[in-house]
């Protein structure tokens, strides 16, 4: 590269940083809940980049909370063990042996991979599941789904303590039942419940598609509740996208300012969304009352 071109690159970098000022100011002290889906967890390099973005967000004043999924990793382990599983409305029908595998994979392998990646970037991440400190107390969602839980109470105090000590919570979506059960929670549902209880400024749902697509396959950049209901009824929103859009509406109803469904595999997805004019994915927010 010629010296002049190199200078141009540095000038562009400085300009980008300078243009980020209003966004940096807007998100100072903001709570941003980031849900990292199993399909968005790629290579070690992609995980390193995700971790660097989370640490950077914290460095510039955000309180990030990471909630993860791990569906594909659970499937791989269930396959190895010869346990079959089925999904109803994007949720895994979970019997006793299955919930044991879910806990082992989510709280163990997946959670620690993310914790280690953040710590390697100079952050202070602590991994916990919804069972730790009764972070997520659940009710059974439906008898037909077995040990699948719907969050009922969130212990936000433990998260605020972590914010005060600059600790980044990394949360596996398992919940404590009132009778000592362990519940499997869909990762999106867990992230939405936490974001709602914290009245987060942003909930970012990172997945493996660019956003919510319409019947023509185009990403809809801004979605209303009515559009979501219609697209779900028509079957355009299906499978794993159902819990995401349900979560988005529920979180908005609980006081989250905005939810974005975006491609977690895209480079610097979170930074692009928070700190640039460009934004990313599909935005769902409360429609101001007229």
- Enumerate the known binding-site residues for substrate: 70-71, 92, 184
Q: Which of 27, 34, 37, 251 binds ligand ADP (CB under 6 A)?
A: 37
As given in the structure block, the two tokens for residue 129 are 């599941």
According to the binding rule CB under 6 A, does residue 151 interact with ligand X2W? no
Q: Which does 265 bind (CB under 5 to 8 A by kind): ligand X2W, ligand ADP, none?
A: none
- The rounded radius of gyration (Å) of the Cα atoms in the chain is 19
Q: Which does 237 bind (CB under 5 to 8 A by kind): ligand ADP, ligand X2W, none?
A: ligand ADP
Least Cβ distance, residue 143 to ligand X2W (angstroms):
14
Q: Which of 169, 175, 196, 240 binds ligand X2W (CB under 6 A)?
A: 240
Q: Which stretches within the chain are classed as H helix?
A: 3-19, 21-26, 44-59, 71-80, 96-103, 111-120, 156-164, 187-198, 225-233, 241-253, 269-275
- Tell me the torsion sign for CA atoms 243, 150, 115, 124: positive
According to the binding rule CB under 6 A, does residue 247 interact with ligand X2W? no
According to the binding rule CB under 6 A, does residue 130 interact with ligand X2W? no
- Binding mask of the shown chain, residues 155 to 194, with x at each position contacting ligand ADP by CB under 6 A: --------------------------------x-------
User: Cβ closer to ligand X2W: 71 or 127?
Assistant: 71
Least Cβ distance, residue 148 to ligand X2W (angstroms):
4
Distance, in Å, from the CA atom of 275 to the CA atom of 27, rounded to the nearest integer, reads 9
Q: Which does 131 bind (CB under 5 to 8 A by kind): ligand ADP, ligand X2W, none?
A: none
Per-residue three-class SS string for 198-263 = HCCCEEEEEECCCCCECCCCCECCEECHHHHHHHHHCCCCCCCHHHHHHHHHHHHHCCCCEEEEEE
Of 31, 61, 16, nearest in space to 275 by CA: 16
Q: Which of 49, 56, 63, 70 binds ligand X2W (CB under 6 A)?
A: 70
The interface with ligand ADP within residues 231-290 (CB under 6 A) comprises: 236-241
35 with 206: CB under 8 angstroms?
A: yes
- Binding mask of the shown chain, residues 193 to 212, with x at each position contacting ligand ADP by CB under 6 A: --------------xxx--x
**Phi, then psi, of 189 in degrees rounded to 5:** -60, -45
Residue linked to tokens 């269930």: 78
Binding site for ligand X2W (CB under 6 A): 37-39, 69-71, 74, 91-92, 102, 148, 173, 184-187, 240
């Amino acid at each position: 590269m010629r010296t002049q071109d190199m200078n141009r690159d540095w000038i562009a970098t400085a300009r980008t940083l300078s243009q980020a000022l209003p966004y940096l100011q807007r998100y100072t002290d903001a709570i941003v809940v980031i849900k990292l889906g199993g399909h968005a967890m790629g290579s070690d390099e992609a995980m390193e980049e995700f971790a660097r973005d989370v640490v950077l967000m914290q460095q510039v004043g955000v309180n990030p909370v990471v909630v993860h999924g791990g569906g594909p990793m659970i499937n791989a382990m269930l396959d190895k063990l010869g346990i079959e599983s089925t999904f109803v409305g994007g949720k895994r029908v979970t019997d006793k042996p299955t919930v044991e595998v879910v806990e082992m994979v989510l709280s163990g392998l997946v959670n620690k991979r993310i914790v280690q990646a953040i710590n390697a970037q100079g952050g202070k991440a602590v991994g916990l599941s919804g069972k730790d400190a009764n972070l997520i107390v659940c009710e059974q969602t439906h008898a037909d789904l077995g040990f699948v839980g719907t969050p009922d109470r969130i212990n936000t105090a433990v998260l605020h303590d972590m914010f005060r000590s600059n600790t980044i919570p990394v949360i596996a979506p398992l919940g404590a039942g009132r009778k000592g059960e362990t519940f499997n929670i869909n990762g999106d549902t867990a992230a939405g419940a936490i974001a709602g209880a914290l009245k987060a400024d942003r909930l970012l749902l990172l997945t493996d598609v660019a956003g919510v697509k319409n019947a023509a396959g185009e990403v809809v950049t801004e979605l209303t509740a009515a559009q979501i209901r219609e697209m779900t009824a028509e079957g355009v929103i299906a499978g794993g996208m159902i819990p995401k859009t349900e979560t988005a509406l529920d979180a908005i109803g609980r006081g989250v300012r905005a939810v974005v469904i975006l491609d977690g595999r895209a480079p610097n997805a979170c930074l692009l969304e928070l700190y640039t004019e460009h934004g990313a994915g599909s935005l769902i927010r409360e429609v101001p009352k007229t």
